[in-house]
Structure 1
């Protein structure tokens, strides 16, 4: 009965365990064939999986021998055969030892195979992700992609490590157990098969229903926590509007809903406990009772009856467990399909390894009748018939109201997106005739919202040139007006900047980004509103650093603050996706009722 308790305890735990949220996939010949592609990533480790399967079969075989020997050992008491009992006890000890050895090698081999395979899958998925075009990332959420890298691959790992092996083991135990049961007593086997497996499967289905109810309760609790979090974060507004009574009412209503659902869930758990006691134990009692009647009639021995009960428990537990394992395999197949969906996305033609020295370009930029719409909203034309020329070393500024396509021009220059019409030429050569590594290797961008990586200052500056020397990194920091504040930190260049550079101020992050761009030494520089979010002191330091950075380079400056572009060689005024004015600052402010003149009058006091 101890094993019965273990079995029922297992089902009870399954009923309480929160189900993960990964969707399931139907198991078909196509989905199985697709899932088998995972083995392509094992790269010489397949033999570990197959040897692990051999140890799995040996473990199952020794497990099936155990109840038979236990029954024979019990019969030795009736026959008073001590020598045979001692021999059987030694056999049982040997079987336990063999099971321990087989289980060790099975688990070790499966884990070794799985971890090597998962490492290759993770690397292949990440390599493909990092090379996908911006059109892909503009339509996907980062959280979803992280889920593919973490939750989906973890589900695949769990399945390769334990679920498949456990499913096969349970299947062997079911088939082997039924065969042994039939050998012991065909009549008793029919009784057992008509009761125990049906009850076990019913217990699993009941358990799943309770898990869903428990998850609903947890979701309601999470909603109440959201209310509390929002209220406490916005406590100033709550107090200002004297709405304490309203927030208390909101929270109180949600709490009452939780109580109602939790009580109903408790009732279902009570039903489940009653079901286990009455049906599961009742079915075992029925089988034992019928076995006892057969033993009294002399059809089977007491030892055979004990063996039969143990085999019945094996079969019942396996029936109960295999349904859950099948569900896990469905989730793993769904996870595999989602992972392969990403792997099958067409990447950009970029090598995963540095190709070495990148040939320099002069930096002449020409836009000829360029038209563009974002793939996600093709009906909206962002740029229409855009024409301009930026000579090598010139500073060309792009200004205009928000949302007119200024940053889009920078994205097209970097080939984040493909244009719909027209041409973009660099040094007279079509931008699509350049290798992407050469093209982007000759460009640098300093955005408005600089995102640094969570490493050290040194690592973030060296990102522009990974093989840079200490002297080059220090010189770039000095030119970017960053050396003073870096040397002021106790750890200087080894200072960890934190996630997204959160430990640094906005101006400090901008200067690190400028140092990174200086180290890369680009031919074409893109400044996307690089000073618009800074205070006056930081803006002055950053602007000085930008002047150094722009020297001798073709600079495309996207700006809201017109004070930063008064000395630009050419200013393009963009409105509704078209260049409506073009010239120097002085030329543009002289245009009567011109857009640039109107923008200038809002920002400068001398208009």
Structure 2
């Protein structure tokens, strides 16, 4: 399964178009927008108090020169007030931005999930679910970090830089020009150098991850390793990877050494140069006093630190804008149509089904016709079996019945009405499917059975389990109905999962039932129990049985033989077995001879 790290997130170019898309996030803030703007107000107050701090510190130092204790006490008190105000403003700024962000992202998460589960099957057939899930997780996380911290810090640093330069210009234009000539350049160089070193660190991490993959693969396949006596091969593979890690890590350490030397020499050298020039101007009388010099040095430090941080924050905002675009790409995907008709049918379906010259190609492979002019009828209560080689289009018929995809040509009628005239939820609510590979949800057995009818009573759930031949094994568990089935039902056997799925279908009480090779992967004993449950399930409803094992469909009212997307044979078991050189007869002879 693909996983995405924050560093892997692509950046978006910041322009009016991308920013306009990003600002759509405010639509999901709903009645929380005011918190963002109030947070900005507190951000301005925080920045203003931060800018006042160096000035007051300078004034405090000047009190030493003037030997003015009264003024020193006043300035010190003023500094404490500034610090208290800054603490209060910072609290409200952080609280309001977090509050705004969490509420907005909560609405986005829900809207995203709501839209995702309403998207058509054609969307999911072209997307990897694991990758989709990881991407959503990484993008939302990026938005969370950006709106909680990064935007506020970016604006704060920007205000400090602009405000700092204005104040510096008032203190000493000459000193400001000198500072402008060296400090920003060195700060930007430090950022670029630091980013280069982080990339090197990421290379080391990636190589370590690759070495862990080797360990994981070796231990998972330890039987094969020992059976082939290939311990030496795995050791060599691991040793080669570790050697690569050492080389990269040493190179990275070398660059970190260069970076430390750069910081000591250049960054602190800049501070020394600014201080020296400031003292020179003070001695010449071009700077009023020591206090102004101290203020200047503090403002220079603020600006240098802000330059160092703002470039990284800008990159984070670019990533956030890119993340926003990708989130809205998913939100803009068009959900499947609930109603294709202006007056959708919501009545209970009886179960008469008719395919009239239906042709279909999957959207992702439009050049390949999966079904070609398929026609057949299934009356209420009949059992219709569909057989044929793999890729013939058997499961596609089930998908079209459930309206997972729209047909290209022809028509599908249910109770004499077009399948597109029914409300989608009502249509699928009258159908149920028991697939070959049953996927259960990671809750209890009771919750999984009740998925067929969420408002079912305990008595109804118990009866469905009994009819599905599932009650005996359920009662054998200590927790009975409250037994946790594990992820995808991993704690249950294949036969047990099938019977839970049958119980779920029984509880739903559908008019049309689809059995997609429901017993093909079971052992003989499980197949017998499941087959008995299926016979009960099929009573009084139209059933479509997709099967490889022909022994399970001998009693079907009609058997359709699909080959190459066309129905090549149609009839009962006896009728088809009597066809000379028929596909069904050949398949039947092959299976029963082997048995």
Q: Deviations over 1:269-289 (max 9, x none)?
A: 111111111111111111111
Q: Which residue of 2 aligns with 1:462?
A: 450
Shift of 1:296: 2.2
After superposition, the C-alpha distances for 1:501-547 in whole angstroms (9 at most, x for unaligned) are: 11111111111111111111100000001111111111111111111
Picking from 578, 599, 606, the partner of 2:566 is: 578
> 2:183 maps to what in 1?
196
Partner of 2:536: 548
Displacement of 1:299 in angstroms is: 2.6
Of residues 49-58 and 577-586 in structure 1, the stretch that sits farther from structure 2 once superposed is 577-586
The aligned counterpart of 1:70 is 57
- CA apart distance, 1:358: 5.5
Q: 1:488 aligns with which of 476, 480, 503?
A: 476
1:371-396 residue CA offsets vs partner (Å, 9 max, x unmatched): 11111111111111211111111000
- 2:29 corresponds to which residue? 42
Structure 1: any 5+ residue segments left out of the alignment? Answer: 1-17, 352-356
Given candidates 349, 354, 357, the residue that maps to 2:337 is 349
Aligned to 1:377: 365
- The equivalent of 1:504 in structure 2 is 492
Q: CA deviation at 1:19?
A: 5.8
Distance in 1 (alpha carbons) for counterparts of 2:582 and 2:135: 51
CA contact (8 A) 1:358 1:441 kept: no
Alignment check: 8 A CA contact 1:364 1:428 kept: yes
1:31 deviation in Å?
0.7
Give the equivalent residue in structure 2 for 1:155: 142
CA spacing shift, 1:534–1:19, aligned 2, 3 Å: closer
Task: Give the paired residue count.
Answer: 585
Mapped to 1, the partners of 2:491 and 2:347 lie a distance apart of: 36
Q: Distance in 1 between matches of 2:171 and 2:467?
A: 88
1:598 aligns with 2:583: no
Instruction: Give 2:279's aligned residue.
Output: 292
1:238 positional shift: 2.4
Query: Which TM-score applies when normalising by structure 2?
Result: 0.96
Residue 306 (structure 1) aligns with:
294
Query: Deviation per CA, 1:551-572, whole angstroms, max 9, x where unpaired?
Result: 0110000011111111111111
- Aligned counterpart for 1:522 among listed residues 497, 510, 517: 510
Question: Hey, what's the Cα distance between the residues in 2 that align with 1:46 and 1:251?
Answer: 54
For residues 376-430 of structure 1, what are the alpha-carbon distances to aligned partners after superposition, in whole Å with 9 as ceiling and x for unaligned?
Answer: 1111111112111111110001111112111111001111111111111111111
Counterpart secondary structure, 2:356: strand
Q: Which moved more, 1:561-570 or 1:57-66?
A: 561-570
Q: 2:263 aligns with which of 256, 264, 276?
A: 276
Where 1:45 maps in the other structure, the secondary structure is helix
Aligned partner (choices 437, 443, 465) of residue 449 of structure 1: 437
Which moved further from structure 2: 484-493 or 569-578?
A: 484-493
Q: Is the 8 A contact 2:346 2:423 kept in 1?
A: no
1:462 shift after superposition: 1.1
Does the CA-based 8 Å contact 1:131-1:350 persist in structure 2?
no
Which of 540, 544, 566 is residue 554 of structure 2 equivalent to? 566
What is the aligned counterpart of 2:241 among 254, 268, 278?
254
Instruction: Determine the structure 2 residue equivalent to 1:227.
Output: 214
> The residue matched to 2:491 in structure 1 has which SS?
coil
Where do 1:356-435 residues align within 5 Å? 359-435=347-423
What residue in structure 2 maps to residue 84 of structure 1?
Answer: 71
Extract structure 1 runs of 4+ deviating beyond 6 A: none
Q: Please list every run of 5 or more consecutive structure 2 residues that lacks an aligned counterpart in the other structure.
A: 340-344
Change (3 A) 1:411 1:595: same
**2:31 aligns to what SS in structure 1?**
coil
> Residues 76 and 422 from structure 1, CA distance in 2 versus in 1: closer, same or farther, beyond 3 angstroms?
same
The answer for the alignment partner of 2:425 in structure 1 is: 437
Q: d(CA) in 1 for partners of 2:327 and 2:539?
A: 46
Alignment of 1:589 with 2:548, yes or no, is no
User: Residues 46-71 of structure 1: CA distance to partner in whole angstroms, max 9, x if unpaired?
Assistant: 11111110000000000000000001
Specify the alignment match of 1:15 in structure 2: none
| Distance in 2, Cα, partners of 1:263 & 1:69 | 47
> CA offset at residue 455 of structure 1?
1.3
Bigger mean CA deviation after superposition, 21-30 or 290-299 = 290-299
8 Å CA contact 1:19–1:211 kept in 2: the answer is no
User: Is the Cα contact below 8 Å between 1:174 and 1:318 reproduced in 2?
Assistant: yes
Give, in whole Å, the separation in 1 of the partners of 2:234 and 2:137: 37
The residue number in structure 1 matching 2:194 is 207
2:312 to 315, 320, 324: 324
Residue of structure 1 in register with 2:342 after alignment: none
Which piece of structure 1 moves more, 534-543 or 169-178?
534-543
Match of residue 216, structure 1, among 180, 184, 203: 203
Q: How far apart are the structure 2 equivalents of 1:187 and 1:423?
A: 84
Query: What is the alpha-carbon distance in structure 2 between the residues aligned to residue 148 and residue 458 of structure 1?
Result: 33
C-alpha RMSD of matched pairs (Å) = 1.5
What is the DSSP-based 3-state SS (H/G/I as helix, E as strand, rest coil) of the residue aligned with 1:527?
A: strand
2:184 and 2:557 mapped to 1: Cα distance? 84
SS at match of 1:91: helix
Whole-Å separation in 2 of the counterparts to 1:44 and 1:225: 47
Seen in structure 2, the aligned counterparts of structure 1 residues 156 and 397 have a Cα distance that, compared at 3 Å, is same
Secondary structure (helix, strand or coil) at the match of 2:239 reads helix
